[in-house]
């Protein structure tokens, strides 16, 4: 077997659906129905870039200066986005994850986050990937195995596939009323605005064109099951639809304009997030996960004609 930079490759399937989950980061490398990509893949012989498919734990998005205060104690973590002087997407992106159960049509990956400098808390994390008639369902379950309350948030970073070509010709529909504004240099929160009357109002559906997006959206509309949805219709007329449960209060959209040239605008990043950017500093929607307690969040994605 040849070496893969993303480690061991774990395959699951159901009817004509196929997904590959990787050891490094515990994320999803590819998901397709037949020969049509649902999530934009990356190659087996490539490293994950742009947090491609990765879980974002114990916080999603950016943390300014890598600094936060929790229960009166200051904490400093390493700057993993040094050009912007931020820490980004938590600690588990490059960790080794292990399969604890492979059911053929589903797989559970697990890892342990032990105390480290800047985050002296202990978490046991499992991610369940399951294929079925409704597509792919992903559930993150995190338990505080330490002896103190921990600050916690989570997210994941799939890229929806347009099918062939760039995302410019795709139509997006997402019912969200509010966009979180960011400063252009560090991409940190700088206020909120209603999407009404702006280019970021996707509630009725709009063609992406050359619009550049790297923003979180909130005040999500939900169906009777508590799910919020994003629909991306490609030029082939097929639609990738992603849903999030009520644990996820925000969705970040990213058109990939800052990625390597071959990756730019080839997939739409749609990131479920339980808390907004810079949440560990602001305290907004951060979960206080008590010792012995568990937090669960689910999202899913499917392809429809």
Q: Checking DSSP bridges between strand 28-33 and strand 36-39, what pairing results, if any?
A: antiparallel
Q: pLDDT for 243-284, tens place per residue?
A: 999 999 999 999 999 999 888 999 999 999 999 999 999 999
What Å distances lie between residue 157 and 57, 206, 251, 299, CA to CA? Answer: 11, 22, 10, 11
- The answer to whether residue 2 sits within a structural domain is no
Structure tokens at 83: 């050009």
Residue 2 has pLDDT above 80, yes or no: no
Rounded Cα distance, 66 and 87, in Å = 5
233 assigned to some structural domain: yes
Pairing of strands 150-152, 287-289: antiparallel
Whether residue 259 lies inside any domain: the answer is yes
Tell me the three state secondary structure of residue 167: helix
Q: Dihedral through CA 92, CA 94, CA 95, CA 99, nearest 10?
A: 100
Q: Which helix (H) or strand (E) holds 220?
A: strand 214-220
**Is residue 3 in a domain?**
no
Question: Residue 78's CB: how many other CB atoms inside 10 A?
Answer: 11
On whether the CB atoms of residues 246 and 220 are closer than 8 A, the answer is no
Range of the domain at 186: 9-304
pLDDT tens readout for residues 131-164: 999 999 999 999 999 999 999 999 999 999 999 9
User: Is the confidence at residue 1, as pLDDT, over 60?
Assistant: no
Can you tell me the mean pLDDT for 178-204?
Answer: 97
98 contacts: CB under 8 Å, gap ≥ 6: 23, 109, 110, 111
CB within 8 Å of 43: residues ≥ 6 apart: none
- Residue 101's pLDDT band (boundaries 50, 70, 90)? confident
H or E, element range at 40: none
Whole-prediction pTM:
0.96
Residue 199 domain-assigned (yes or no): yes
pLDDT band at 3; cut points 50, 70, 90: confident
The number of folded domains in the chain is 1
Domain assignment present for 251: yes
Largest CA distance in the chain: 54
- For residue 30, give the CATH number of its domain: 2.70.98.10
CA-wise closest residue to 202 among 184, 215, 183, 190: 215
Q: Is residue 127 part of a domain?
A: yes
> CA-CA distance, 171 to 237, in Å (whole number)?
10
Whether 214 and 255 have beta carbons less than 8 Å apart is answered as yes
Residue 1 forms part of a structural domain: no
């Amino acid at each position: 077997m040849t070496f893969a930079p993303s480690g061991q490759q774990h395959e699951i399937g159901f009817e004509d659906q196929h997904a590959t989950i990787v050891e490094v980061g515990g994320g999803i490398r590819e998901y397709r129905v037949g020969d049509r990509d649902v999530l934009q893949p990356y190659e087996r012989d490539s490293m994950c870039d742009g947090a491609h498919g990765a879980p974002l734990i114990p916080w999603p998005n950016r943390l300014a200066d890598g600094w936060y205060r929790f229960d009166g104690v200051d904490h400093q973590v390493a700057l993993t986005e040094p050009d912007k002087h931020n820490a980004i997407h938590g600690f588990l992106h490059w960790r080794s994850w292990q399969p604890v159960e492979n059911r053929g049509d589903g797989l559970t990956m697990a890892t342990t986050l032990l105390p480290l400098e800047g985050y002296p808390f202990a978490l046991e994390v499992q991610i369940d990937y399951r294929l079925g008639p409704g597509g792919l369902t992903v559930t993150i379950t995190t338990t505080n195995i330490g002896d103190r309350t921990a600050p916690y948030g989570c997210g994941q970073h799939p890229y929806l596939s347009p099918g062939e070509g760039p995302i410019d010709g795709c139509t997006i529909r997402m019912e969200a009323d509010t966009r979180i504004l960011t400063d252009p240099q560090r991409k940190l929160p700088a206020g909120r605005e209603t999407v009404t009357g702006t280019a970021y109002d996707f509630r009725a559906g709009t063609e992406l064109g050359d619009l550049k997006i790297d923003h979180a959206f909130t005040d999500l509309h939900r169906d009777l099951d508590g799910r919020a949805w994003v629909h991306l219709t490609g030029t082939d007329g097929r639609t990738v639809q992603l849903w999030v449960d009520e644990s996820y209060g925000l969705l970040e959209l990213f058109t990939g304009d800052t990625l390597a040239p071959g990756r730019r605008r080839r997939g739409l990043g749609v990131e479920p997030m339980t808390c907004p950017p810079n949440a560990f500093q602001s305290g907004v929607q951060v979960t206080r996960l008590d010792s012995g307690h568990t937090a669960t969040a689910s999202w899913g994605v499917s392809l429809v004609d």
